[in-house]
């Protein structure tokens, strides 16, 4: 019973976090300022990174090691994209 409640709380936390990130993406992507498009796409990458982390943690709990490793690689690639974009923004100043 306690394990079931913990899993339900985890799923609720996961879904709330992902929905908030999606709302932030929509706000930045569909506004008038064209510079905010870059911020919006960076937020979308953050969405996929957080989704990959949540999925990796869930796969670890379920014992799916191959899927967990694939999610971690996906998260690392997303972090690489964010670092690359950050370097581009910093070097443009």
Q: What is the pLDDT of residues 7-48, one digit of tens each?
A: 788 889 999 999 999 999 999 888 888 888 888 889 999 999
- Please state the domain extents for the chain: 2-91
pTM equals 0.84
In this predicted structure, what is the pLDDT of residue 72? 96
Distance CA 77, CA 75 (A): 5
Asked if pLDDT for residue 1 goes beyond 70, the answer is no
Tens digits of per-residue pLDDT, 44-77? 999 999 999 999 999 998 899 999 999 999 999 9
Cα 87 off chain centre by: 20
CB burial readout 66-85, b (16+ within 10 A) else e: eebeebbebbeebeeeeeee
- Quote the pLDDT of residue 3: 73
């Amino acid at each position: 019973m306690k394990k079931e409640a913990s899993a339900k709380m985890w799923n609720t936390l996961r879904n709330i976090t992902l929905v908030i990130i999606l709302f932030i993406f929509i706000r930045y992507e569909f506004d008038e300022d064209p510079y905010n498009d870059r911020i919006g796409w960076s937020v979308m990458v953050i969405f996929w990174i957080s989704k990959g982390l949540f999925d990796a943690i869930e796969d670890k709990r379920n014992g799916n090691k191959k899927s967990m490793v694939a999610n971690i690689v996906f998260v690392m690639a997303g972090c690489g994209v964010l670092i690359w974009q950050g370097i581009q923004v910093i070097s443009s100043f």
